[in-house]
Amino acid sequence: MPTPRTTVFVSYCRRNKRWLERLRVHLTPYERRGVLDLWDDSRIETGEQWRAEIDRAIERAAASILLVSADFLASDFVNVHELPKLLRKAERAGARVLPIIVEPCELSVHPALAAFQALNSPQQPLAAMSRAETERVWARAATTIGKLLETPARPEARAGREKAPAGDSLLFAELRSATVTLSVLWGLTAEEDEPTLSELERRLGVRSRKSAFEALERLTSDGWVEKIRRAGLVRYRVTDEGVRQLQRLVAASDGPVRRIVTPS
């Protein structure tokens, strides 16, 4: 069985594409060995649903490399479609975020991004360095990614799901996690009340409290479900966005799955 490749997502502004090309050069040996899937939006083919492709790549990614510049920070595409999801993935699943400051910019107005340690100082962007100095930063990035590739427990295998028991494939674990998450979303939509985790477990017959909690955390982090504190208890209710997304799932599903997720 071939070794699964680790996805590393690159977020950048098109005006900084020259820096992306140099990063690719330094990471080519890992791609050649078949252990790295370096993903950026140039991989999207004409006619594909680009938002869905980006979302899938971010969900797979064990790390993201951010090529930061003033253009990057000003880009609506980056700030709306990529950066919030990458930072949320880091918080939720422990995915690494590796900023590289390629051109002078003001990071203080982006505290969520500034919280991550860059591979070079904001006071020393690549554009102000000599060629040898920039190559050392790229080499440091390659070393960091190399260490990540050697880590046995990869973040993408832990994102929102339990470790597959011995004998179970990763596909089985993914389907199991998706099934629990879908059941939780359906359970919150099917009833008018706002249940606690324990009440939701009993209602749905979920056997693993950890699985139900992780499903709720994923739904909450994406804004499909919200937490409410009442009388010292944490309760959950589906949001309008959650209802909309469930309706989308119903429309996109077929066969038994469609019958299961169709609200009664």
Angle between helices 131-150 and 17-32 (to 10 degrees): 40
Residue type, 164: A
Is residue 254 very low, low, confident or very high in pLDDT (cuts 50, 70, 90)? low
What is the reported pTM?
A: 0.57
When pLDDT is averaged across residues 37-41 and rounded to a whole number, the result is 90
Q: How far apart are CA 262 and CA 3, in angstroms?
A: 38
Q: What fold characterizes domain 6-158?
A: Rossmann fold (3.40.50)
**Tokens describing residue 102:** 């390629």
Q: Where are the domains of the chain?
A: 6-158, 170-261
The 10s digit of each residue's pLDDT in 172-202 is 777 878 888 888 888 888 777 888 888 888 8
When pLDDT is averaged across residues 202-225 and rounded to a whole number, the result is 81
Beta-bridge partners for 99: 66
Query: Is 193 strand, coil or helix?
Result: coil
Q: Which range is least confidently modeled, 35-49, 61-75, 89-103, 161-175?
A: 161-175
Q: How far apart are CA 83 and CA 11, in angstroms?
A: 8
The 10s digit of each residue's pLDDT in 92-101 is 777 889 999 9
Task: Give the CATH number of domain 170-261.
Answer: 1.10.10.10
Cβ neighbours of residue 64 closer than 8 Å, sequence gap 6 or more? 8, 9, 10, 11, 58, 86, 89, 90, 95, 96, 97, 98
When pLDDT is averaged across residues 57-83 and rounded to a whole number, the result is 92
Whether 100 and 67 have beta carbons less than 8 Å apart is answered as yes
DSSP 174-204: HHHHHHHHHHHHHHHHHSSS---HHHHHHHH
The 10s digit of each residue's pLDDT in 106-162 is 988 888 888 888 999 999 999 999 999 999 999 999 999 998 887 644 443 444 334
Is residue 169 very low, low, confident or very high in pLDDT (cuts 50, 70, 90)? low
**Tokens describing residue 65:** 């490399």
